[in-house]
Structure 1
Amino acid sequence: MMKSFASVLILFLFQGAIAQNTNTCSCCSENHLAFDFWVGEWTVTNANDSPAGENRIIKEEQGCVLRENWTSAKQGYTGTSINFYNRINQQWEQLWVDSSGAFLKLKGNRVGDTMVMSSEEFTKDGKTLKNRITWFKNEDGTVRQLWEVLNGDDVVSVLFDGLYRRK
């Protein structure tokens, strides 16, 4: 019986190895590639053209994950995010964590030449708010990132408005 179990296990592992080598790309659908315009090494400036920082976005896990590594122009502040297309809920998701311990969870999708992701609602000072970050794919190859705080459909504040230029 043990010999039979070992044979089945070996066969299962061998078939898995073959499947991995002959499998088509798991994350190559149009939806999985929708945020690829953000991949690259970037110098980022604020809306007033002052330095904001540098950002490196790379594809990992066989193209299934975009990892962001942010270094702010403000010394000592860094952050990282994991971004992926969740085929179960058919949305992009982002989890951002920074060197201050703050985190942000976003969900959304690409609409035309923009990726729009929003947080769940939260309450602050008696107001129901949510974060919305929009990445704009510009014709000249730059990317604009706009982070707004909304109360319903109204923009309460802009937390970041940056322009990404390829290094």
Structure 2
Amino acid sequence: MKKLIMIALFVSFIQINAQTKGEDTCPCCTDKHAQFDFWLGNWTVYNTDGKIVGANTITKLYDKCVLKEEWISTGTSKGTSTNYYNKSDKTWNQLWVDNSGYSLELKGKLIENKMILKSELIEGQKGWYYNQISWTPNKDGSVTQLWELFKKDGTLIQESFRGIYKKEK
């Protein structure tokens, strides 16, 4: 009888352990981790005049926990970003680095179907400012990326980039 109880307990332990492991096999397979998935794909990027300004490939890596961006402009600019959802503070984060040595760290959230990420305040020649980049999925399947600079008080300084991402076929 003791042997039968031990076997039953052992089998129960194995089943519980298997169920728990099954739940942890994809810790980043959540709705929050999928919020930026509209940006996944191979893209040709156009300016507002319809001229091609570059190509961008966005892939999901590491058990769907990281979005990796690989940018190549029609000029000499190349760069990459790592994007991830931080469960602890419930924000999206991006670290961008390009071949000029420029880097940018952004943090933000999906707001009204638009991913909006901002930098910390940066001191420049004309005072304190921050970067804000937003990605908006459009009805035709394209994505608009808008990079703006704002004064500390939220006043727009300039639009640095506006690109229309169109998926390659």
TM tier, smaller:
0.7 to 0.9
Q: Specify every segment of 5 or more residues in structure 2 that has no aligned partner in the other structure, as ranges.
A: 1-16
For residues 128-162 of structure 1, give each alpha carbon's deviation from its aligned partner in whole angstroms, at most 9, with x where no partner exists.
Answer: 10000000011111000000000122110111000
| Residue in 1 that maps onto 2:148 | 148
Larger Rg: 2
Give the residue type in structure 2 aligned to 1:26. Answer: P
Look up the equivalent residue of 2:125 and give its one-letter code.
D
Amino acid at match of 2:123: T
CA distance in structure 1 between the partners assigned to 2:51 and 2:31 by the alignment = 35
* Identity over aligned pairs, percent: 40
Q: TM-score under structure 1 normalisation?
A: 0.85
Residue 50 of structure 1 aligns with which residue?
51
Q: Deviation at 1:19? A: 6.2
Shift in Å, 1:17? 9.8
Counterpart Cα distance in 1 of 2:83 and 2:165: 18
Show the counterpart of 2:93. 93
Is 1:79 aligned to residue 79 of structure 2?
yes
Residues 1-167 of structure 1: pairs in structure 2 closer than 5 A: 23-74=24-75, 76-151=76-151, 152-167=153-168
AA at the equivalent of 2:71? W
Query: Which piece of structure 1 moves more, 80-89 or 25-34?
Result: 25-34
| CA gap 1:147/1:128 in 2 versus in 1, 3 angstroms | same
Unaligned runs of 5+ in 1: 1-15
Cα distance, 1:126 vs structure 2: 4.0
Structure 1 partner of 2:8: none
CA RMSD of aligned residues (A): 1.7
Q: Deviations over 1:3-61 (max 9, x none)?
A: xxxxxxxxxxxxx9996566342112211110000000000011221111000000000
